[in-house]
């Protein structure tokens, strides 16, 4: 049985800001669906989930960047989801859930999807944020059946860009606490770092870049892809 850890944990202000930004944010979902980069993300995710019986979509946010008809049953969880609103497909259930302390039973799912989740798992500093990512990976491993697939789509940056983000992290967190920054604070890490964390738990990992279009979302706003170091990556592993 899972014992809920006292650490690591997410920053309370960050949780509130994420909930405020994403809850009922239909404008964000519309912007995501209209960009070529996110069409490419859907094309990358769909083959990974096709034919899955039970899928746990962690950090769902009420947004589906994939074809829900490819899966028999989908459970989407997030910190601000309480119940399933009207209008969703019959195979989808939404409910409250914490990526760091899932209430789902052990070995219950054929696939766990974490789509643009890791960079939102903000702690009190860089190290605690990385610890949160490791905890989310551990929880995904726990709820997967043997042979189950872990699918991560994450916005990543280069090693150099990450070094700069680490230096700016405190300032970004403080700014996110003010009305001047509507989007919650984030920390994007190199794909190699995430791959290493997942491999350390699963023993296997595959990391592949997803092509970007002309535009990409950065802090919830549309940016020319050429002007941001953020790039989407598909990272997968299988529980042995």
What confidence tier does 143 reach under pLDDT thresholds 50, 70, 90? very high
Report the alpha-carbon distance of residue 201 to residue 239 in Å, rounded: 9
pTM to 2 decimal places: 0.90
Q: pLDDT at position 126, please?
A: 94
What confidence tier does 7 reach under pLDDT thresholds 50, 70, 90? low
CATH topology of domain 12-238: Rossmann fold (3.40.50)
Q: Hey, where are the domains in the chain? A: 12-238
| CB atoms inside a 10 Å sphere around CB 144 | 24
Q: pLDDT at position 25, please?
A: 55
């Amino acid at each position: 049985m899972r014992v809920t850890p006292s650490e690591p944990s997410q920053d309370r202000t960050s949780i509130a800001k994420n909930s405020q930004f994403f809850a009922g944010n239909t404008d964000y979902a519309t912007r995501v669906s209209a960009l070529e980069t996110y069409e490419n993300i859907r094309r990358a995710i769909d083959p990974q989930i096709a034919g899955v019986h039970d899928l746990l979509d962690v950090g769902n946010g009420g947004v589906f960047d994939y074809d829900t008809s490819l899966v028999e049953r989908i459970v989407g969880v997030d910190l601000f989801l309480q119940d399933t609103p009207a209008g969703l497909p019959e195979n989808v259930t939404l409910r409250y859930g914490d990526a760091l302390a899932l209430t789902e039973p052990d070995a219950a799912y054929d696939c766990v999807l974490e789509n643009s989740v890791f960079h939102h798992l903000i702690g009190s500093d860089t190290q605690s944020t990385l610890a949160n990512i490791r905890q989310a990976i551990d929880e995904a491993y726990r709820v997967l059946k043997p042979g189950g697939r872990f699918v991560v789509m994450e916005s990543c940056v280069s090693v150099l860009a990450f070094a700069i983000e680490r230096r700016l992290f405190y300032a970004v967190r403080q700014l996110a606490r003010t009305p001047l920054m509507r989007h919650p604070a984030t920390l994007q890490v190199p794909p190699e770092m995430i791959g290493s964390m997942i491999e350390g738990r699963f023993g296997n990992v595959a990391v592949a870049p997803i092509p970007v279009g002309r535009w990409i979302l950065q802090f919830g706003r549309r940016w020319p892809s050429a002007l941001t170091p953020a790039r989407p990556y598909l990272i997968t592993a299988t529980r042995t």
